[in-house]
């Protein structure tokens, strides 16, 4: 006959203020490599497949509730208006799930390094042994401030004693309560009803449940964590930083073991939510955050921050910052590029140095090599955008789009005043302010005609080094341009051209 499946309830304790964080943000909402503290705890519990998840909220309850609605909408927040202790918190949580039978897993909200495997092993041991209560314990180098596991002469759990209530001999114990437990729901409810506040803090201690059950002859058990690091809590920002380093090392090691090269793991910070393909290479000083994905053979770094950005196979990203961008296969970005949301680079596209791209597509093989802002634009394939171009997308009220076709060559120092279209194969002259569409195959020229006022320096700046240089040139002793001797009169040349100067070689040459 098959057994009925175990009913499981998860209770996360997250009502505390976390005074020592000295923060307006509730402690459990502090971020740690891609998740909040409570987010890490909930994901460690997720594989249990609990029927109900209850999160006890208190300090900053509205903020915590809003966060839970985002990351764990299936969880039920329950308010503990006054923090009267961990036992009180669990009592309130169970009141919200009167139907709960089977196993209740309780996890402190501030143990973000806890692994799902460890919670799973704790619950498995607890259910296998039919214990009334099982605590996750760990042997730690420094037990200061933590509850101690007090065992009897036979090595069985006798009670859990808080540091403040411990005798000097008990304080020597280095086996501590990690703040993670499995209980039998019915026996837990019964014991919670019997808790006293007769302790140093005048609180209802969840940990006292163990002594009570044991005295009533119920089986209580200890499950020892293989790695005490998983049980580390977080009370202030120094500890948070230490946890961040530990988690970084864990994440980095796991990626290296799957075949990703991290050239300097110490300066590489990868959120737990990031995905990397085999043979991706991450160079030093790089942060990969959120939903970032890096394809195989791509090289990211040094000095790169990617947030929610997808990097295709074989692409390179050097000394750049990207948020919400898509970088196609074999595309190249940087050094010193800034890709903003919905910047989309197709295969082999290039975004070079001091280039900012926002909400724009850059087609396959197209290049935006230098000193350019591309906003709200679509650029076709195999086009080249001249240096120092601005896609003028904003009229002060509305944003407009610029469309550049394929195989276009736009000149250096252009302004594309959107909405405007430059057709396939079209050119534009350097220094143009393009306000009208340029048809396919045309050369768009939009700039003031140049005039040279001959002899101006000799006349208006006499006695300066410039005037002396001009004078030498006039005598044929100049450093450059022997064909262009300085003239003496103030004649103005250049008016003969009908349009602002015929574009010549170099007008678009900024590849
Ligand atoms: C608790 C344990 C201690 C254990 C340690 C592990 C008790 C009495 N002690 O101590 O044995 O070694 O965790 O880190 O349980 N919380 C509430 N409501 C409350 C009080 C606390 O939700 O009324 C929450 C806190 O937000 C926190 C968790 O419960 O997430 C633990 O509370 P905390 O005050 O940190 O307990 P510790 O003194 O660390
Ligand atoms: Mg604590």
pLDDT in the model for residue 500: 46
For the segment 470-495, the average pLDDT, to the nearest whole number, is 67
Q: Decide whether any atom of ligand 1 lies within 6 Å of the 15 Cβ.
A: yes
Tokens 């791509």 found at: 298
Residue 169 has pLDDT above 50, yes or no: yes
For the segment 31-42, the average pLDDT, to the nearest whole number, is 98
Mutate which of 11, 16, 57, 113 for ligand 1? The one with the most ligand atoms within 8 Å of its CB, which is 16
- Ligand 2 centroid from CA 98, angstroms: 27
Catalytic residue among 6, 370, 398, 407: 370
Report every protein residue that has its C-beta within 5 angstroms of ion ligand 2: 233
Residue 501 has pLDDT above 90, yes or no: no
Q: Are 430 and 507 in contact (CB under 8 A)?
A: yes
Mark whether 59 is an active-site residue.
Answer: no
Is 205 annotated among the ligand-binding residues? no
pLDDT band at 478 (very low <50, low <70, confident <90, very high): confident
Token pair for 153: 């002469």
Q: Decide whether any atom of ligand 1 lies within 6 Å of the 208 Cβ.
A: no
For the segment 105-117, the average pLDDT, to the nearest whole number, is 97
pLDDT in the model for residue 17: 85
- Ligand showing the shortest atom-to-Cα distance for residue 80: 1
pLDDT in the model for residue 7: 86
Continuous H helices in 226-369: 237-257
Q: Decide whether any atom of ligand 1 lies within 6 Å of the 34 Cβ.
A: no
Give the number of the atom of ligand 1 that is nearest the alpha carbon of residue 204. 8
pLDDT in the model for residue 6: 64
Residue 486 has pLDDT above 80, yes or no: no
pLDDT band at 483 (very low <50, low <70, confident <90, very high): low
Residue 142 has pLDDT above 60, yes or no: yes
Take atom 1 of ligand 1 and give the residue whose Cα is closest.
179
| Packing angle of the helix pair 61-71, 37-45 (nearest 10 deg) | 50
Residue 406 has pLDDT above 70, yes or no: yes
pLDDT in the model for residue 479: 85
Give the number of the atom of ligand 1 that is nearest the alpha carbon of residue 109. 30
pLDDT in the model for residue 430: 97
- Ligand 1 centroid from CA 169, angstroms: 23
Residue 349 has pLDDT above 70, yes or no: yes
Q: What is the dihedral of CA 383, 385, 390, 392, to 10 degrees?
A: -20
Is 19 annotated among the ligand-binding residues? no
pLDDT in the model for residue 511: 57
* pLDDT tens per residue across span 305-333: 999 999 999 999 999 999 999 999 999 99
Q: Decide whether any atom of ligand 1 lies within 6 Å of the 86 Cβ.
A: yes
pLDDT in the model for residue 105: 98
pLDDT in the model for residue 215: 96
3-state secondary structure of 406: coil
Token pair for 148: 């101690």
Q: Decide whether any atom of ligand 1 lies within 6 Å of the 110 Cβ.
A: yes
Token pair for 87: 């036992």
Residue-averaged pLDDT of the chain: 93
Give the number of the atom of ligand 1 that is nearest the alpha carbon of residue 179. 6
pLDDT in the model for residue 482: 55
For the segment 467-494, the average pLDDT, to the nearest whole number, is 71
pLDDT band at 156 (very low <50, low <70, confident <90, very high): very high
Mutate which of 37, 148, 179 for ligand 1? The one with the most ligand atoms within 8 Å of its CB, which is 179
Token pair for 54: 């209850």
pLDDT band at 380 (very low <50, low <70, confident <90, very high): very high
Least trusted range by pLDDT, from 34-48, 107-121, 298-312, 479-493: 479-493
- Ligand 2 centroid from CA 351, angstroms: 48
pLDDT band at 504 (very low <50, low <70, confident <90, very high): low
Q: Decide whether any atom of ligand 1 lies within 6 Å of the 177 Cβ.
A: yes
pLDDT band at 416 (very low <50, low <70, confident <90, very high): very high
Q: Decide whether any atom of ligand 1 lies within 6 Å of the 232 Cβ.
A: no
* 2 contacts: CB under 8 Å, gap ≥ 6: none
Least trusted range by pLDDT, from 201-210, 363-372, 414-423, 501-510: 501-510
Closest CA to 297 of 283, 310, 316, 284: 316
Is 199 annotated among the ligand-binding residues? no
Is 246 annotated among the ligand-binding residues? no
- Ligand showing the shortest atom-to-Cα distance for residue 54: 1
pLDDT in the model for residue 510: 57
Q: Are 313 and 327 in contact (CB under 8 A)?
A: no
- Ligand 2 centroid from CA 208, angstroms: 16
List phi, psi (to 5°) of 159: -160, 170
Give the number of the atom of ligand 1 that is nearest the alpha carbon of residue 15. 22
Residue 76 has pLDDT above 70, yes or no: yes
Closest CA to 387 of 410, 371, 402: 371
Residue 428 has pLDDT above 70, yes or no: yes
pLDDT band at 495 (very low <50, low <70, confident <90, very high): very low
- Ligand 2 centroid from CA 17, angstroms: 10
pLDDT in the model for residue 502: 52
| CA angle (136, 228, 154) in 5-degree steps | 50
pLDDT in the model for residue 2: 44
Is 177 annotated among the ligand-binding residues? yes
Give the number of the atom of ligand 1 that is nearest the alpha carbon of residue 84. 23
Take atom 13 of ligand 1 and give the residue whose Cα is closest.
179
Give Cα separations from 468 to 473, 478, 482, 486, 490 (angstroms): 9, 10, 16, 11, 17
Is 359 annotated among the ligand-binding residues? no
Q: Are 438 and 426 in contact (CB under 8 A)?
A: yes
Residue 1 has pLDDT above 50, yes or no: no
pLDDT in the model for residue 480: 80
Report which DSSP code applies to 491.
Answer: -
Residue 490 has pLDDT above 70, yes or no: no
Closest CA to 68 of 6, 10, 121: 10
């Amino acid at each position: 006959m098959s057994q009925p499946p175990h009913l499981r309830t998860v209770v996360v304790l997250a009502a505390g203020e976390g005074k020592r964080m000295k923060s307006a943000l509730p402690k459990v909402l502090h971020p740690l490599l891609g998740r909040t503290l409570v987010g890490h705890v909930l994901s460690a519990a997720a594989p249990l497949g609990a029927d109900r998840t209850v999160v006890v909220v208190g300090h900053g309850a509205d903020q915590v509730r809003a966060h839970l609605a985002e990351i764990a909408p299936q969880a039920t927040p329950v308010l503990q208006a006054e923090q009267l202790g961990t036992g009180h918190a669990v009592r309130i949580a169970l009141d919200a799930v009167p139907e709960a039978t089977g196993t209740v897993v309780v996890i402190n909200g501030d143990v973000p390094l806890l692994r799902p495997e460890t919670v799973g092993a704790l619950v498995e041991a607890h259910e296998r042994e039919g214990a009334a209560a099982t605590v996750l314990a760990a042997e730690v180098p420094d037990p200061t401030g933590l509850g101690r596991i007090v065992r009897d002469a036979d090595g069985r759990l006798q009670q859990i004693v808080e540091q403040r209530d411990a005798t000097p001999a008990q304080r020597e114990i280095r086996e501590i309560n990690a703040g993670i437990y499995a209980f039998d729901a019915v026996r837990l409810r019964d014991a919670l009803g019997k808790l006293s506040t007769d302790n140093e803090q005048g609180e209802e201690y969840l940990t006292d449940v163990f002594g009570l059950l044991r005295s009533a002859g119920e089986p209580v058990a200890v499950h020892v964590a293989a790695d005490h690091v998983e049980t580390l809590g977080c009370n202030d920002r120094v500890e948070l930083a230490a946890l961040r380093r530990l988690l970084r090392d864990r994440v980095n090691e796991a990626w290296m073991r799957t075949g990703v090269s991290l050239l300097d793991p110490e300066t590489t910070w990868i959120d737990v939510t990031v995905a990397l393909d085999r043979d991706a290479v991450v160079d030093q000083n790089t942060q990969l955050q959120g939903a970032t994905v890096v394809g195989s053979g791509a090289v990211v770094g040094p000095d790169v921050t990617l947030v929610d950005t997808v990097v295709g196979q074989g692409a390179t990203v050097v000394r750049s910052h990207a948020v919400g961008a898509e970088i196609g296969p074999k595309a190249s970005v940087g050094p010193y590029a800034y890709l903003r949301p919905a910047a989309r680079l197709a295969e082999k596209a290039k975004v070079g140095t001091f280039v900012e791209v926002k909400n724009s597509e850059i087609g396959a093989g197209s290049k935006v090599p230098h000193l350019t802002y591309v906003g709200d634009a679509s650029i076709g394939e195999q086009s080249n955008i001249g240096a120092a171009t601005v896609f003028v997308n904003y009229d002060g009220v509305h944003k407009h789009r610029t469309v550049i076709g394929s195989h276009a060559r736009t000149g250096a120092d252009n302004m594309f005043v959107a909405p405007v279209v430059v057709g396939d194969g079209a050119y534009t002259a350097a220094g143009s302010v393009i306000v009208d569409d340029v048809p396919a195959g045309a050369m768009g020229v939009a700039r003031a005609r140049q005039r040279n006022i001959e002899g101006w320096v000799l006349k208006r700046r006499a006695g300066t080094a410039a005037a002396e240089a001009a004078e030498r040139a006039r005598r044929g002793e100049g450093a450059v341009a022997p064909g262009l001797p300085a003239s003496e009169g103030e004649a103005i040349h250049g008016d003969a051209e009908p349009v602002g100067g015929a574009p010549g070689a170099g007008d678009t040459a900024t590849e």
